[in-house]
Structure 1
């Protein structure tokens, strides 16, 4: 895992562990940012929330993450990363479908239900990864 990925993971962890306050909504007339600009806006919104709650440690971590995005994020790199996540999610869906097919051949209703749940979760993750491609 490279330094940028590590910081992004830290950013996500900080956001998830941070205050349960939603980021302020962008005005309806503002253009919707995509790619690296969107990532920068998301981090800046989290910095603003952390500042409002007096969480200086989170502000420091998010500020570092923002600098890393500003210095290292490229649209092509971000696109390739997101495409990789979609590919991984597609593989997971295929694996889960295969597992379900095997369970159905055996006829074990408990395993079938478990496999259906796992397949549904994998499909949800695939959809989320595909949605990220457009951001």
Structure 2
């Protein structure tokens, strides 16, 4: 057992610099938008570790691995475009709900539907701003 341990440790020590240099190389060659995503996830990961949130840590590590393996500028832009599209659909739905409440004449319902529509519009604007910022970073 001791003999195996003595052989494994030196091999691990030799492999560590290679593994770390490959990680550094992968980060250096990463698309700029992906690098930004990696940095954001790493910040969140640090916070999750500080707070001992193991479930969040595992999720973020999995997310980080996925970004490192599959991310590209084009994919980040596509994801942002998808968010804008989904937000636009949400706004349309909220507009239809408000129109229905207005037809029914229920003032309390009209107020609630108006507030929901305003929230959906703000979210859409945020997603549009994000997309524009991403497109400008390319």
Normalising by structure 1, we get a TM-score of 0.64
1: CA distance, partners of 2:122 / 2:102: 21
Partner of 1:44: 42
Q: Runs ≥4 in structure 1, deviation > 3 angstroms?
A: 50-61
Deviation digits for residues 28-76 of structure 1 (CA, Å, limit 9, x no counterpart): xxxxx96212110011112223344455554444223212101111111
Q: Which has the larger radius of gyration?
A: 2
Over aligned residue pairs, what C-alpha RMSD do you find?
2.3
Q: By how many angstroms is 1:108 displaced?
A: 1.5
How many residues of Structure 1 are paired with residues of Structure 2 in the alignment? 103
Partner of 1:8: none
3-state SS, counterpart of residue 90 of structure 2: helix
Assess if the C-alpha contact under 8 Å between 2:32 and 2:73 holds in 1: no
1:104/1:78 CA distance change after superposition, 3 Å: same
2: CA distance, partners of 1:84 / 1:73: 16
Partner of 1:96: 94
Q: Which of 71, 74, 85 is the matching residue for 1:73?
A: 71
Partner of 1:126: 124
2: CA distance, partners of 1:55 / 1:99: 39
Q: Which of 105, 110, 113 is the matching residue for 1:112?
A: 110
Q: Which has the higher helix share?
A: 2
3-state SS, counterpart of residue 35 of structure 1: helix
2: CA distance, partners of 1:108 / 1:52: 49
**Unpaired segments of 5 or more residues in structure 2?**
1-30
